[in-house]
Amino acid sequence: MNSQINDLLFRLLDETPNAFGVFDSNNQLLYCNANMASVFGLSRQQAKGLTHRELMRNAYSSGLGVRIDSEDFEQWINDVESRQRLDPVRTFESGLMNGEWLKITQVTIDNHLVLIGTNITELKDTEARLRAALEELSDVANTDVLTNAANRRHFFNRAGEELARAQRYQHPLCLMLLDIDYFKQVNDLFGHHAGDQVLQFFARFYENGLRKIDFFARLGGEEFVVLLPETQLHDAMTLANRLRKQLALQSIYTMPEEQKIQITVSTGVSQFEGSGDSVQTLLSRADEALYRAKAHGRNCCEAAAPWPAAG
């Protein structure tokens, strides 16, 4: 009866879709089915009798079976084997070189190590698709549909993070508020379709002129904003004037109207003043400077005066 049960159990282990293997107290492989042998890039006959280290070294050298992302195999295997028998049961995930994934359950019984691997490739693929879908939804929620710039909501989230960082480490931070001059005239003279193309061009122009750490967003209408981390007011004004002058030299060709349009921009620049500052006070001071830029004839930059109440 016992012999019959043993035969059935071994047949079950051979035919199960799971990977199964048993190592003795010296980490030598006593038994494995074909699926476990393939984890090491070997056949059952080749795998039997080898130690866990030898099996892993074969997979590492041949580039078959389990994926080992390390340039130093000895250090990697020492770390792996040092954790093998710390807990009676341990679970982890392993990627295979063929793109599949296994969930490995490691059980220690009388100092023998039992490994059971369940294929979770379909689950990992589903997780990846869900992550991609969530990232896409996040991008949609944070992006202005017309210009592909960050939208108002995204700006306030990011500005809060940057302001908190500036406050925590006492680092400089500046904000540029941009308003396209006489934009209503563009719509009135050339139509809203041309106006949309002007907005799209403006967004591309500014994003291409900024650093990777800078953050550009559309607040609404023809009004845009730029966050400049690690930037002093003098440097922010230099950048604002450089981009303003370059923009005035650009020609925008709209389609299908085939109109050639040139635009200018007015800019107000404010800087982080201290712990009493907020995103709204930065915006308000930049808006006050922007108002002065427009009053001075537009196509110019003005720096905001510091608020005594800040800091």
Residues annotated as catalytic (active site), given as ranges: 222
CA-CA distances (angstroms) from residue 195 to 90, 199, 257, 263? 61, 6, 11, 11
Asked if 286 contacts 269 with a C-beta cutoff of 8 angstroms, the reply is yes
- How far is it between the farthest Cα atoms of the chain? 101
Look at the block and give the residue holding tokens 């306030």: 156
Quote the DSSP letter at residue 143.
Answer: B
Give residues with Cβ within 8 angstroms of 223, minimum separation 6.
177, 178, 179
CA-CA distances (angstroms) from residue 51 to 21, 83, 85? 12, 16, 15
**Angle at CA of residue 209, ends 208 and 211, nearest 5°:** 95
